Structure 1
Amino acid sequence: MNKKKVIASFILLLAVTAYFVLFYKDKKLRFIPENADAVVLIDVKNLTRQYIFSLITTPSQWGSKTKGKSSASLRESGIIIPDFLQIFHLKGTGVSDWYSVLELKDSQKFIAFLKQQKFTDKGKNVFQKDRVFLSIEGEKCIVGTSYSGFGAINKQIFQDSPKNILNADQFTQNTTGSVSFLSGQKIQNFSIELKDDEIEIKNNSNLQFLNTIASKIQKGNQFLELELDKENIRNFTRFFNKNIADSSQFTSLKAASNLEQINDTIISYEYDDNFNEVEKKSFQKITQPNYIIDIKSDDPNRTWEYFQSKKWINEENQFTAIPFLPNEISRNSKGIIIKSTRKPVSLSSPQKENYILIRNSTLLYSSLKTLSNTEKKIISDIDYVLYVNKSKDYWMKIKAKNGELPLILRW
């Protein structure tokens, strides 16, 4: 055969293979239950292309075997890697309860992989490690941060005939993924874009004016700063199944906080040789916030009465709904002020914008003792998290610290 034809055939075969491996996607979403009210969709092939491009353009990583080994172990665990990873939240469940369904090509191999990863076998093909639960149903696996929704998911997806097969184009268009909120037939989409040193979540591709707001907000140095109007307060409290914004007459909220490491006294009792009770003191370092919260209200007296009805104000005029005490709560003609009493925190001048800014702090991730070393490394690598809203435009940025590697190779 002509050598040129051989080369051309090889290039064509390579191109077709690359297309099916990296670009062709099955866009049918078969694993989202009808009662899902939020969906996170990850375009696995888009993410794979980003990883390959970053690896090719970062020669220092060509000899690295760590990530390749981790990826190979997952691919060889018995899982079918999906074109779109579908993560969902069920209506009426806890805010931290999220689920996903995986297809398996070898369930026994996957069970062996779970045991290798130190998952505890709870019986009946249910496994748990920390806050992650898995239930293997034939050649499918339900994964979740809670076990409570597994029965409903199993019934809707595996036992009933599928009624809710959605299409990926309803959620995402050529981005790394999306976050979507479902209400009946209405879907509100926010794209997820992974860049070299940041992750952006937004509902509008042209949000340059929000960058202007962001540059103005980031000039401070406090751990937490936020300013929200009534609509944003309502949105956030509804997310936690609360109607506090409507019941308390809030019109706006401004707050600031810094972290501090303090000595916490632990008092215990022992008995001496004569069986007399002896008080024993020990100390441990804990991280707690110092804060100030300024709540503007249409009717401060009604707001105060609402807090009292919830038993959030004690006899010492402390606001007990915040677990970090001591603090003091007071009212004036414009609203309510809550502030901690250890160290004063001052509010910045009002920006008349809607934003939440959380800056990283070594006191934050060093105090999260339940996290693994990998999780602590990811958190320590974050510089700040910023949420901004203007009218119907929403934008959230997770900004990583400057580094030699892009995020996809770091994490």
Structure 2
Amino acid sequence: MKKKLAYILVIISVTVLALYLFRYKQALIYEKKIPISATEIVQINLREIEHHLLIDVIKNPLKYISFKSKKKGSISFNKTIEIPKNLFFFTNNSNYKNAWFSSLLKLKDSHKLKRYLLQEGFKNSTSNKLETFCKGRIIIAFSSSNAIIALKKQENTSIISEIKTVFNQTTFYKKESELLKSISNSKSDITYTNLKDDFLEANFKNGLFEIKGSLNSNLFIADKYVEDTNNSIGFISTKINKNNTVFKSLSSLKNKKKFKNFTKLSLDSIVNKWNGSLVANLRAIDTKIDTIVTYKYDDDFNKIEKKSIQKFNTPNISISLGSNKNLYEYFYNSKAIQIIENDTLLTSIPIYKMYAKQVENTLNIYSQKNENTSEFKKEEYKFNMFIAVSRYLKQPLEFSSEKSINKYLQLIKNVSAKQTLNNKVVIQVRLKEEKRNCLGQFLKP
């Protein structure tokens, strides 16, 4: 009897191991996936990500047990398509410039998938014999037994002709090609590469989501910096290249109007007088107490004084904008900076009391009257940012955030991002729970 049990255990173990190796240790497929005209590629290793979630399910089964009954007629997405081992997204600056396009996805049941997309709020349309489902910047298009996912760079841009080009593509990169070498040799969950030799790897680790690699972007320029992670809740230090296309895209007409409505200032005028240097340091959040006095009258018209105490949180913050005197003068002439009771104050954002002064080639804005502005050190980073999210949430500012977002913020300990002078990039999101995979935590908190 004992021998039979031992044999059964061995057979089960070998079977499970064989299935595991078959599913998770097979080579990824690269042939006929990426058009030869693509210049930027992202690979998502779906098998590796699935493996992370499998381990998380085994270690934390109760997190995945749901007692909610399924809605009648609801459709499961993974039953409508064949989930590939790895999924690619690609783009370029010519025929694919308006979006990121996925590699082809083989359909199991196109009718069910279309019903699923309608359930999820996608809008169906047909143009030039191409059926698409759109939601915001996401488009899912169908052709025969295949589908692709497109992520538009601008929401109002039409990409129908580009989608057709993807479906009709006949020439593809081979695994041995120079562009795919770095991706095919990587074991990371997500990888990015382009023809400029940029390479980034992203991984979902225990208690940490991390992006590492090199990025030869000129968006950020070497600048003096502030680093005070022990005492600050958060800081950012950089010098932005105002001629970079990414920065220019942020200065859209829509954003300019929003900025004008909020501050009564011209975003173009500020950008023209700003040299791109930015340092912001949130040292703490202070609680201030105000006594509010109100009056009312009794039946005999006697004046009765009523006092109430109001607590509110204010930031202990300093912001430095690199400039010449023109930026300060623009703020002053626009009455965004005013002298009130011998104090020079920034009045364009009246939420908090903020002081302002010009120091050499820097406009300093700060919340504490006796501010020390001599925080600059040697040049070391093009970009440097840190936010102690858990510290901030203990005493946040009075800004409302959606419950769904706040639920995920509660998981995070801190966030940091750096780009060195030689273009090495490290971005880290550290979670409070260090022993559980971060992806599992975000999917099943």
**2:206 matched to which residue of 1?**
196
Matched, 1:159 2:168: yes
Q: 1:200: Cα distance to partner?
A: 1.3
The 3 A distance-change label for structure 1 pair 324 and 237 is farther
Counterpart residue identity of residue 65, structure 1? I
Q: Which residue is 2:279 aligned to?
A: 254
Go from structure 1 to structure 2 and tell me whether the alpha carbon gap of 1:35 and 1:348 turns closer, same or farther (over 3 Å shift). Answer: farther
SS across alignment from 1:154: helix
Tell me if 1:126 matches 2:107. no
Cα separation, partners in 2 of 1:5 and 1:406, compared to 1, 3 Å? closer
Distance 1:198 1:96 in 2: 32
Q: Size of the alignment, in residue pairs?
A: 348
Change (3 A) 1:357 1:114: same
Alpha-carbon distance in 1 for matches of 2:40, 2:372: 37
CA distance in 2, matches of 1:255, 1:63: 39
Separation of aligned partners in 1, 2:364 and 2:170: 53
Gaps of 5+ in 1: 205-215, 262-286
The answer for unaligned runs of 5 or more in structure 2 is: 215-226, 252-267, 288-312, 338-345
Identity %: 17
For 2:12 and 2:33, the matched residues in 1 are separated by 37
Match for residue 295 of structure 1? Answer: 321
Show the 5 A alignment for 1:21-32: 21-28=23-30, 30=32, 32=34
Please show how residues 262-341 of structure 1 align to structure 2 within 5 Å.
Answer: 292-296=318-322, 300=324, 304=326, 315-317=334-336, 325-326=349-350, 331-333=358-360, 335-339=361-365
1:379 pairs, out of 379, 392, 409, with 409
Cα shift at 1:219: 0.9
TM-score, L = length of structure 1: 0.65
Residues 263-284 of structure 1 deviation map (CA, whole Å, 9 limit, x = unaligned): xxxxxxxxxxxxxxxxxxxxxx
Question: Which of the numbers 111, 116, 128 marks the counterpart of 1:113?
Answer: 116
> What residue number does 1:176 align with?
189
Contact 2:141 2:163 in 1 (8 A): no
Q: Deviations over 1:142-174 (max 9, x none)?
A: 242546363354133212423446675432611
**1:387 CA drift (Å):** 0.9
1:386: Cα distance to partner? 0.5
Q: Is the 8 A contact 1:35 1:91 kept in 2?
A: no
1:133 and 1:39 mapped to 2: Cα distance?
Answer: 18
Larger gyration radius, structure 1 or structure 2: 2
Q: Note the alpha carbon deviations across 1:243-297, whole angstroms, 9 max, x for none.
A: 99x9878485322247899xxxxxxxxxxxxxxxxxxxxxxxxx99885432346
Query: 1:12 and 1:92 mapped to 2: Cα distance?
Result: 51
RMSD, matched Cα: 5.0
Counterpart in the other structure of 1:75: 78
SS of the counterpart of 1:79?
A: coil
- In structure 2, C-alpha distance between the alignment counterparts of 1:108 and 1:324, rounded to whole Å: 55
Given that residues 140 and 147 in structure 2 are in contact (C-alpha distance below 8 angstroms), is that contact kept between their aligned partners in structure 1? Answer: no
Counterpart in the other structure of 2:246: 239
Counterparts of 2:8 and 2:171, CA distance in 1: 46
The residue aligned with 1:280 is: none
Closer/same/farther in 2, CA of residues 203 and 17 from structure 1, 3 Å limit? same
| Paired residue secondary structure (1:111) | helix
Given the alignment of the two structures, is residue 65 of structure 1 paired with residue 65 of structure 2, yes or no? yes
Q: Give 1:194 shift.
A: 1.8
Counterpart residue number, 2:302: none
Equivalent AA in structure 1 for residue 409 of structure 2: I
- Structure 2 equivalent of residue 359 of structure 1: 388
Distance 2:98 2:429 in 1: 19
Cα distance in 2 for residues equivalent to 1:349 and 1:329: 16
Partner Cα separation in structure 1 for residue 53 and residue 165 of structure 2: 35
